[in-house]
């Protein structure tokens, strides 16, 4: 008769609900970045921003026309900010 190995009971943590950590994977991105050819998402949870259309076309001239605000992903927001700065230094 083979003895079954005694299973160790792992005590469950009491009242310690795992915090709902909103990792990137948990976010369901639904706002696409409006910069042409960009496949990122512009959800605010992901660091996306919306900027004025007029500002956007200063940097990317082929932004599809639409609402007055353009949703851009974090990467493009950085890019936009950077090019804005470059502009300013050039002009002054
Ligand atoms: Zn983008």
The whole-number mean pLDDT for each consecutive block of 10 residues of the chain, a chain of 92 residues, reads 77 69 70 95 95 93 87 96 76 53
pLDDT value for 47: 95
| CB 52 within 8 Å of CB 68 | yes
pLDDT value for 5: 78
Q: How far is the CA of 11 from the centre of ligand 1 (A)?
A: 46
* Structural domain boundaries in the chain: 29-91
Beta strands (DSSP E) in the chain are: 49-52, 69-72
Q: How far is the CA of 28 from the centre of ligand 1 (A)?
A: 17
pTM: 0.64
pLDDT value for 15: 75
Q: How far is the CA of 54 from the centre of ligand 1 (A)?
A: 17
pLDDT value for 42: 96
Ligand 1 being an ion, which residues bring their Cβ within 5 A of it? 33, 35, 38, 40, 73, 76
pLDDT value for 23: 59
């Amino acid at each position: 008769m083979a003895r079954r190995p005694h299973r160790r009971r792992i005590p469950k943590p009491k009242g310690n609900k795992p915090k709902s950590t909103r990792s990137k994977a948990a976010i369901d991105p639904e706002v696409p970045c409006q910069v042409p050819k960009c496949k990122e998402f512009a959800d605010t949870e992901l660091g996306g921003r919306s900027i004025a259309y007029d500002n956007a076309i200063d940097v990317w001239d082929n932004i599809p026309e639409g609402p007055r605000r353009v949703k851009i992903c974090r990467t493009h927001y950085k890019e936009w900010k950077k090019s804005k700065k470059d502009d300013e230094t050039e002009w002054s």
